[in-house]
Amino acid sequence: MIDLYTTSTPNGRKVSILLEEAGFDYTTHVVNIRAGEQHDPDYRAINPNEKIPAIIDQDGPAGKPIRVFETGAIMQYLAEKSGRFMGNDAVTKLECQQWLSLVTTGLAPTIVQVFYWSQHAPKATSEEVVTFGQQRYSDEMRRLVGVLDFRLREYEYLAKTYTIADMAAYPWIARHEFFGFSLDDFVGVRNWYNRLSKRAAIQHGMQVPS
């Protein structure tokens, strides 16, 4: 059994999608980040970085419980545990690692900055600085979505087969309207998004926590 500590954000949903795809039994524990529960000492013992998601695999290596935090590490751990979703040959595995890295270190942090500058910074920052920050990160977000689009105009998935790289990217793209970009501007991403949206595991994973 796997304990998933999460909330309804794209980062959390990456992991719930993978848990659904892999068919693992898991229990969901909602961490109310608006109330600051991620800073509670009990949760910090699970994730020292005080962010969601995190997991505890009660049946980890050698049958002993293990905690895993940071979405990239969680997804690689679960994919390896399932023996799936990392590619079935050396080239595809490398592609999976490259695109997973782009999503987790490029796309996701940039979109978080778009959210910060559009939702929080205006309350405490001069109009000129806010405008600059919003434009800077909005442009970078669109550039990174364009990188995905360049790939997905040629391939069905980010790697040559469906992998954790796709699962990591999907929840961010699913919020495209909220983050202010249109899928009509990214045909490859749009077609990829529409295909993945039909997967039952993605539909279920996007509802966690309900």
pTM of the complete model: 0.83
The dotted CATH code for 90-199 is 1.20.1050.10
- Interval 86-102 mean pLDDT: 95
Question: Would you state the pLDDT for residue 125?
Answer: 62
pLDDT tier for residue 122 given thresholds of 50, 70 and 90 = low
User: In the predicted model, is pLDDT for residue 118 greater than 90?
Assistant: no
Q: How far apart are CA 88 and CA 144, in angstroms?
A: 26
DSSP element (H, E) containing 57? strand 54-57
For CATH 3.40.30.10, the residue range(s) in the chain are 2-85
Question: Would you state the pLDDT for residue 9?
Answer: 93
Report pLDDT digits (tens) over 13-24. Answer: 999 999 999 999
For CATH 1.20.1050.10, the residue range(s) in the chain are 90-199
Give the CATH fold of the 2-85 domain. Answer: Glutaredoxin (3.40.30)
Using CA atoms in the order 116, 117, 118, 124, what is the torsion angle rounded to 10 degrees? 100
Reported in sequence order, the residue ranges of 112-196 that DSSP labels E, i.e. its strands, are none
Report pLDDT digits (tens) over 48-67. Answer: 899 999 999 999 999 999 99
Question: Would you state the pLDDT for residue 123?
Answer: 59
The phi, psi pair for 83, rounded to 5°, reads 75, 20
Assign 54 to helix, strand or coil. Answer: strand
Question: Would you state the pLDDT for residue 67?
Answer: 97
- Interval 155-169 mean pLDDT: 96
pLDDT tier for residue 47 given thresholds of 50, 70 and 90 = very high
Assign 124 to helix, strand or coil. Answer: coil
